[in-house]
Amino acid sequence: MMYPFMTLDDDTEIVHSEMKPDGRVKVYLEKPDAEDCFHSAVCWLPGYDWQEVHGFTPEEIVRYQKIVESTAHLILRFSQEGGVENAAGF
């Protein structure tokens, strides 16, 4: 299951999985593109392991890395609570 997390000012959607038994969380980024349909990438938390990067430039990944780093504590929490919509206290 993937849970919606955030839409950025460049229309990039960020979603995340539930926390896996090994403590990892899959963060998936997807951005519409007129030529390629979509650019996408996967970042695994907590190690910030980027995989399956398609269409994004290295500069875009640096920007997204900063965003994921600054919100990782929330993503990790929400991954255990059924997403932001089910998180207690939000």
By residue range, what is the domain housing residue 79? 2-83
58 belongs to a structural domain: yes
Instruction: For residue 87, name the pLDDT band (cuts at 50, 70, 90).
Output: low
pLDDT surpasses 90 at 67: yes
Q: How many domains does the chain have?
A: 1
* Burial (CB count <10 Å: 0-12, 13-18, 19+), residue 11: exposed
Residue 88, domain member (yes or no): no
Query: Chain centroid to CA 77: how far?
Result: 13
Neighbours of 47 (CB within 10 A): 9
Q: What is the pLDDT of residue 35?
A: 84
The pLDDT assigned to 17 comes to 94
Q: How far does Cα 22 stand from its chain's mean position?
A: 18
Average pLDDT, the chain: 90
Q: Are 45 and 51 in contact (CB under 8 A)?
A: no
> Does the residue 90 lie in any domain?
no
Check pLDDT > 80 for residue 31: yes
**Is residue 77, in this structure, part of any structural domain at all?**
yes
Q: What is the mean pLDDT of residues 4-20?
A: 93
